Amino acid sequence: MAVDDDEAQILAQWSNRLAQALQLLDLEFDQEMVLDLARKSARSVTHAAAPITSLMVGYAAGLATGSGSEGSKASAAAIAQAAGVAAQLCEDGAYGGPANQGWADTAQ
């Protein structure tokens, strides 16, 4: 989801303010990737899937990196990995893909 220069500047300022407020020091991630994932999930599932997908990807990335002591690069990699999984599910649509049977086909 491409944003124009004004939107990009506002988004960068907002992201910095939010990161400071949440005490997320040195958080780096690909904002375009997150926006694209939100757009894909909104299109392939339902509009409300965008924030839910973003939240769950962030949560999964947080679990993967633990307390964040591994550094910003590890966090960015965890976000990218979790976003990749979510993007693949978006490709499968709202009712398709490997997780449509619940946990049955996973190691959970």
Pull the structure tokens for residue 64.
């993967």
Average predicted confidence (pLDDT) for the chain: 79
Is the pLDDT at 103 greater than 50, yes or no?
A: no
Give the residue numbers spanning the domain of 61.
29-92
pLDDT at 70: 56
Whether 64 maps to a domain, the answer reads yes
- Cα dihedral sign, 87-52-76-15: positive
CA atoms within 13 A on the CB side of 83: 22
Whether 66 maps to a domain, the answer reads yes
Q: Please tell me the total count of domains within the chain.
A: 1
pLDDT at 3: 76
Whether 38 maps to a domain, the answer reads yes
DSSP code for 95:
S
Cα–Cα nearest to 35, from 2, 74, 65, 13: 2
**Furthest-apart CA pair in the chain: how many Å?**
46
Q: Which tens digit of pLDDT belongs to each residue from 29-81? A: 888 999 999 999 999 999 999 999 998 888 888 888 876 555 667 777 888 88
Report the predicted TM-score, pTM, of the whole model to 2 decimal places. 0.66
